[in-house]
Chains A and B, each alone.
Chain A
């Protein structure tokens, strides 16, 4: 990619029109941190989408709506009723990157090590896409493969909607890395819906260590209907290995990453249970 032109539309309609006209020669830019690493010599026009009012966090009834151009540091610092997004955002890259990198940038083009797709899959988030009008796509569909397929005709990701967690909900996210600012080796997120001491429903997702973020259905099945107890969590975590195809790298074997995933699932479930019991900030 060779950045050869840079435009700053002031409305969403203008931005969409520009991206539509540019086709593959256009690229929406928010934080822009990923663009610096794109190889190749294709001439590209950057369409700056940071001046369209897409940086916000609002609560609308049962949902939090996060603007696509909201920097990770804003999400990290936000506090709201049973807000759970700050933990993972604190663990993404460094302070300087979190200040410019956006939630939209993290999920519009999914890198295998990206953390937010994992969290949004577990939370059953909905992505809002603008194409003259707005449509919402549930996380399972959105992350079923590379989301680039959804942005072919100038469509723009404008917001992410996540449910406001209820008192009987528990959420936990875990990111295993070699050091604080490193890319993820394994990222796990778990959402538990409890009915008294019983797990009514569970959504557990993983990323990094596998080719593309995905839900761990075998882990979820091992949780549903069971008692929210350490024994249940251990049995469910043990199902993580067979639930996805774990890949090694950087001197780490696939088996090691699988084990790391299993303990991370256990950790995420314990955190989720603690969250449901009433978390202390």
Chain B
């Protein structure tokens, strides 16, 4: 095992950070040992989406990204999306729809939906499916997650697609 000797610097949830890592350490592992445990370890092979984070605003599997690849880039985790006391619109809708069973997939779902809402102006089903195609839920059959997301997106579209106030750095939420 190599020593943790390689520095890597990136913006994490709006704050500039430097961590020590190893060349073969995955971003997911670094995030979790640094306390950002909202990002989940599911399959570890880029299939389930539980570890989804945003890299320069794009949804990415943290389990398929070496921490060293994040150098100089902007990483956002579920901790930036909302807190227990101040959940995001989609998080509120997920609760209201009863869409959360075991909940393990939800942080990844929220991050993919965040990328969708920030990148697109309109939310046709085909576009929504495209952004959400890398997140698996093995409890619910997706129906209620879809309902919650559709409600969030429809309201957003009705409000003229105004981007919500940016929430950053709420470390510790979503455990």
Contacts and interface: CB of A to CB of B under 8 A. Distances in A.
B64 A181 contact: no
Interface residues of A, number: 27
A4 B24 CA distance: 7
A6 B66 contact: yes
Interface in B119-175: 130-134
Contact of A95 (B65, B69, B112): B112
Interface in B19-39: 23-24, 26
Contacts, number: 80
Interface in A80-125: 90, 93-97, 99-100
A145 interface: no
A45 B23 CA distance: 9
B171 to A, nearest CB: 23
Contacts of A73: 58
Contact of A32 (B64, B115, B132): B64
B58 A32 contact: no
A96 B6 contact: no
Given A3-B23, A6-B23, A32-B64, A96 B69 contact: no
A233 B49 CA distance: 40
A2 B25 CA distance: 11
Contacts of B133: 94-95, 180-181
A2 B24 contact: yes
A33 to B, nearest CB: 5
A95 B130 CA distance: 6
A100 B66 contact: no
A191 interface: no
A114 to B, nearest CB: 16
Question: By DSSP majority rule, is chain A's interface helix, strand, loop, or mixed?
Answer: mixed
Interface residues of B, number: 29
A140 interface: no
Given A33-B46, A36-B45, A46-B66, A99 B60 contact: yes
B23 A96 contact: no
Nearest to B112: A95
A48 interface: yes
Contacts of A95: 59, 112, 115, 130-134
B59 A5 contact: no
Interface string A250-268: 0000000000000000000
Given A36-B46, A46-B66, A3 B24 contact: yes
Contacts of B112: 95-96
A99 B55 contact: yes
Question: A48, A73, A95 — which one has the most chain B CB atoms within 10 A of its CB?
Answer: A95
Given A6-B66, A46-B66, A73-B58, A97 B24 contact: no
Nearest to B130: A95
B116 to A, nearest CB: 9
Given A4-B2, A6-B23, A181 B60 contact: no
B66 A33 contact: no
A8 interface: yes
A252 B42 CA distance: 29
Contact of B71 (A5, A8, A100): A8
Contacts of B134: 93-97, 181
A33 B64 contact: yes
Q: Which 4 A-B residue pairs are closest in the complex by CB-CB distance?
A: A94-B134, A3-B24, A6-B23, A96-B134
13 contacts: A4-B2, A6-B66, A29-B69, A32-B65, A36-B26, A36-B45, A46-B23, A90-B130, A95-B112, A95-B134, A96-B134, A97-B61, A97-B64
Interface of A: 2-6, 8, 29, 32-33, 35-37, 45-46, 48, 50, 73, 90, 93-97, 99-100, 180-181
